[in-house]
Amino acid sequence: MKFFAVNGKRPTRLSEKTRAFAWESLNHKYGLDTAKDPCVVMDEYSGFEELSDIKKYDLIIKDIAEKSRIRICTGEKISGAATFGLAIKHLVPATVNGHSIFSSVSHLTIDFETVLKKGVNFIKEQSISAAEQYKGTDKEEFALSCVNVFDCFEIWHKRYLDELKDREELKDNYQILLKVPFKPAESFYEAVQSIWFVFSFVRLCGYWTGIGRIDWLLGDFLKKDLENGKLTIDEAREILAHFFIKGCEWICGGNYGSGDAQHYQNIVLAGVDEFGNECTNEVTYLVLDIIEELGISDFPTTVRINQKTSPELLTRVAQVIRQGGGVIAVYNEDLIIKSLTKRGYEISEARKFANDGCWEVQVPGKTFFTYVPFDSLRFLQEDTLKGYEAGVSFNSFQELYAAYVKTLSIKMEDLLSYVNNERFLQNKNQWTWKPTTPCSVISVFESGCIEKGHSYLEGGPVYNVISPHIGGLTDVVNSLYAIKKLVFDDRKVTFEELMEILKNNWEGHEYLRQFALNKYCYFGNDNDEVDAIAKDLVAVFAELCDEINDRSGFDMPGGISTFGRQIDWAKTRMATPFGKRNNEVLAANFSPTPGTDQIGATAIIKSYCKADLTSMASGAALDVKLLPSSVKGENGIEMIKGLIKGFVSLGGHFMQLDVADIEMLKQAQEHPEDFQNLSVRVSGWNARFVTLNKEWQDMLIAQTGSEF
What average pLDDT score do residues 198-215 get? Answer: 98
Q: CB atoms < 10 A from the CB of 415, how many?
A: 19
Q: How far apart are CA 538 and CA 699, in angstroms?
A: 25
**H helix runs in 257-332, sequence order:** 282-294, 311-322
- Residue 209 reports pLDDT greater than 60: yes
301, containing H or E segment: strand 301-305
Q: Per residue in 359-379, pLDDT tens?
A: 999 999 999 999 999 999 999
| Per-residue pLDDT band at 254 (split at 50, 70, 90) | confident
Q: Per residue in 74-98, pLDDT tens?
A: 999 999 999 999 999 999 999 999 9
Q: Any idea which of 247-256, 292-301, 504-513 has the lowest mean pLDDT?
A: 247-256
Q: How far apart are CA 109 and CA 123, in angstroms?
A: 17
Nearest partner of 626 among 650, 668, 597, judged by Cα: 597
Q: Per residue in 291-337, pLDDT tens?
A: 999 999 899 999 999 999 999 999 999 999 999 888 999 999 999 99
Nearest partner of 482 among 593, 619, 387, judged by Cα: 593
Nearest partner of 377 among 206, 537, 186, judged by Cα: 537
- Residue 673 reports pLDDT greater than 90: no
Q: How far apart are CA 632 and CA 623, in angstroms?
A: 20
- Residue 428 reports pLDDT greater than 60: no
- In the chain, the percentage of residues whose pLDDT exceeds 90 is 84
What average pLDDT score do residues 657-663 get? Answer: 87
DSSP state, 563? T
The rounded mean pLDDT for the chain is 94
pLDDT at 186: 98
Residue 659 near residue 631 (C-beta atoms within 8 A): yes
Q: How far apart are CA 197 and CA 243, in angstroms?
A: 10
Q: How far apart are CA 15 and CA 24, in angstroms?
A: 14
- In the chain, the percentage of residues whose pLDDT exceeds 70 is 98
Strand ranges (E), 193-300: 212-213, 267-269
- Residue 256 reports pLDDT greater than 80: no
Q: Per residue in 147-178, pLDDT tens?
A: 999 999 999 999 999 999 999 999 999 999 99
Four-residue CA torsion sign, 21, 26, 28, 33: positive
pLDDT at 258: 78
Which is higher by pLDDT, 425 or 581? 581
Task: Map out the domains of the chain as residue ranges.
Answer: 256-360+624-708, 369-425+457-617
pLDDT at 155: 98
- Residue 114 reports pLDDT greater than 90: yes
